Amino acid sequence: MQVRRLVPIAAAVAATALVTAACTSVVPGSGSAGSGAVPGPDAPPGLESFYAQELSWGPCGPFAATPDDAEAFADPALDCTAVTVPLDYAEPDGETARIAVLRQRATGDRIGSLLLNPGGPGASGTGFAAALGSGLAESPITQRFDLIGFDPRGIGASEPVIDCETDAEREEERADIDADASPEGVALLEEDSREFVDRCVERNGTDLLANVGTRDVVRDLDVMRAALGDEALTYAGFSYGTFIGAKYAEAFPDRVRALVLDGAVDPAQDPVEASVAQSAGFQLAFDAFAADCVRQPGCALGTDPAAASTVFQSLVRPLYDTPLPAGAGRELGYNDALTGTIQALYSEQLWEVLRVGLDELTQGSGELLMLLADSYEGRAEDGSYSNDLEAFPVISCVDDRRITDPAVYLEIDRRAREVAPFRDDGRGPSAARPPCAFWPVPPTTEPALPDVEGLDPVLVISVTGDPATPYEAGLRLAEQLGARLLTAEGNQHTVALSGVTCVDDLVAAYLIDLELPDDEARCTI
C-alpha cells in the first residue's frame, strides 16, 4: 500500500519524485442490470438519478488498467461495473465521471457490501479487492459480504483518468539527478514543479483537477452505497483510506453501519507536521530493520546499529555520480535506491529482500533495489506505469493546506533530515517548492478534526511500528470519533485482513456482528 504524503527527502519540498504515468479508460460493464439501488429520500436533491441508477455487471477484463490487473481480473468469481457520478457535485446536470467497481460476491448468507479503499491517495481499489478476495477465500467476511473495490475518481480504470506524464517522461524523471540546495538548484527544481503543473493542466483541464479530492470521493462513496443497494455503509479503509472514512462519517453519520479504519491519517494534522512525523516514522522502521540486519553475518550496514544510517548513506550517496547496473540496460541511481529501501520498510516481510539488495550494492549491482523501487513506482515488466503515484500530488494538492512560502519548505526539509538521517542525501536542506505551491485550483479539503454526532461505534486499528502512519495518529482519530482502538504490536504499515489471525478475527466479529474488541485490546503481528 502506498502512503499519503510520502516523498523522498531530496524531493520532499521541491519535486514530485513519486509521480508516475498511465492512461486508461473504463469500459462499461455488460450483462444484466443490477437491482437494489436506493432512490427517493436517501438521495440529496438533484442527485436522485445517480442514487437510483441500475448497475450493469459484466466481466472485469475490460477494466484492467495494468498487466497485473489483467491477470487477476480474469477470475470468473469477479464481476465489474461502472457507477456514474457528477464530475462537479455543484453542477449535477453537467459533465459526469465513471467510477470503476469490482465485486466478489458473498458465498453465504449475505449481509451486504463491504467497500474497500487501500490508501494512496491514488491507489486502485479494484486491484486491491481482487487480491484481497483470493486471500480471504475461507474467511467469514467473504461469506457474508460482497467485497467491493473501487478506483476513486481519476484513478486506474475510472474515467476521466488523471494523466500528467507519459511512461517515457516518468522514466526520465526517475533517472534525473535532483538539483542541490543552491539558488541555481532550487530554481531547477521549481522549474520541474511548474512543468509538471503545466502538463497536468494541459492534459486534464482544471475542471478535473478541481474535483478529484477527498471531498468528492466521499460523495461518490455515498452514491456507490446507494447504487449497490445498501441502506448504510460498511467500509474498510487503509492509510489514506482512513481519511476518506473519517470524512464520510462526518458528512453522513446516519448512513454508517460499520467502519474499519486501519493506519490512520490524522485528519487535523498540519501538512508540515505530518511530513516530519512520517519521516520520523520511517527512521524508526529503518532502525528496526538495521537492528535485525546487523545480527546477521555479512550485513552491509556493519555490526553497529547506531551507525547504520551513516553506513547506509555511504552506500547510496555515490549513486548520484555513479549509478550501478540494474539489469535490462537500466541503472540504479540515488533516488531509486532510496525509494526501493522505503518500499521494503513497509513490512518486515521485505526486510530480507532489502538486506540482500544492500549487499548487492557492495558487489556493484543495483538490480534488487531497482525491483523494489519499481514495485513502489507501479512499473510493470513491460515498462508501463500505473497512474497510482501520478495521481498522488494531484489529489494531495486539493486536500492539503496551500503553502507557498519557500521558508516553510526549507524548515520541513531541515527538520525531516534531523529526524530521519538515513534519508539525508548530504546536499543540505532545500527551499524549493513542490507542484502544490503552484497548483491552479484551490484546496477543497482543510485539515480538521471530524465533527461527528450520532455515529455508531467505529473500529480504529493502529500498528505500534507503522512507518507511514504513526501509531499516535490512530490514538487521536479513535478519540475524536469515540471509536474503539485495536493496537497491533509490530513493524508494518496497516494489518487488517492480512492474515494476522488475532486481528482478522476481531475485524470479522465487528463487521459481521458489530461486536467491538475489548477496551485496550492488543494483538501481536
Confidence at 422, pLDDT banded by 50, 70, 90: very high
By C-alpha distance, which of 269, 242, 273 is closest to 119?
A: 242
Q: Is position 274 within any domain? A: yes
Question: Greater confidence, 40 or 84?
Answer: 84
pLDDT for 41: 59
The answer on pLDDT for 392 being more than 80 is yes
Question: What proportion of the chain, given as a percentage, has pLDDT over 90?
Answer: 84
Characterize the bridge pairing of strands 521-524 and 484-489.
parallel
- In this prediction, residues 361-376 reach a mean pLDDT of 98
Instruction: State which residues form the domain around 111.
Output: 1-282+384-407+434-525
The whole-number pLDDT of residue 26 equals 29
**Statement: residue 27 has pLDDT above 70:** no
- Regarding predicted confidence, which is higher, 239 or 445? 239
Nearest 5°: the CA angle 201, 206, 208 is 105
Ranges 40-49, 63-72, 123-132, 239-248: which has the least confidence = 40-49
pLDDT at residue 14 in the model = 30
324: pLDDT confidence band, cut at 50, 70 and 90? very high
Given a cut of 70, whether residue 352 has pLDDT beyond it is yes
Instruction: Answer whether residue 198 is part of any domain.
Output: yes
Q: Looking at residue 188, which CATH number applies to its domain? A: 3.40.50.1820
Grid cell of 177 as nine digits: 539527478
Counted domains in the chain: 1
Average pLDDT rounded to a whole number, residues 313-324: 96
The rounded distance, in Å, linking the Cα atoms of 426 and 419 is 14
216, containing H or E segment: helix 214-227
Does position 211 have pLDDT exceeding 90, yes or no? yes
Q: Which residue out of 230, 400, 466, 504 is catalytically annotated?
A: 466
**239 given a catalytic annotation:** yes
How large is the average pLDDT for residues 124-150? Answer: 95
Q: Is the pLDDT of residue 30 over 60?
A: no
Cell of 256: 454508517
Given 124, 146, 430, 493, the catalytic residue: 493
Q: Is residue 188 part of a domain?
A: yes
In a domain, 307, yes or no: no
335 CB-side CA count, 13 A? 23
Q: What is the pLDDT confidence band of residue 202, given thresholds at 50, 70 and 90?
A: very high
Would residue 152 count as lying in a domain? Answer: yes
- At residue 21 the predicted structure's pLDDT band, cuts being 50, 70 and 90, is very low
Q: What is the dihedral of CA 371, 17, 173, 494, to 10 degrees?
A: 30
| Contacts (Cβ under 8 Å, ≥6 apart) of 45 | none
pLDDT at residue 18, rounded to an integer: 28
Domain membership of residue 107 (yes or no) is yes
Residue 304 inside a domain? The answer is no
Catalytic residue (one of 239, 347, 386, 430):
239
pLDDT band at 15 (very low <50, low <70, confident <90, very high): very low
- Cβ 237 vs Cβ 259: under 8 Å: yes
pLDDT at 436 exceeding the cut of 50: yes
Mean pLDDT of 112-129: 96
Distance, CA of 435 to CA of 165 (rounded, Å): 14
Confirm whether 220 is domain-assigned: yes
Catalytic residue check, 35: no
The answer, yes or no, to whether residue 325 has pLDDT greater than 70, is: yes
Tell me whether residue 505 is one of the annotated catalytic residues: no
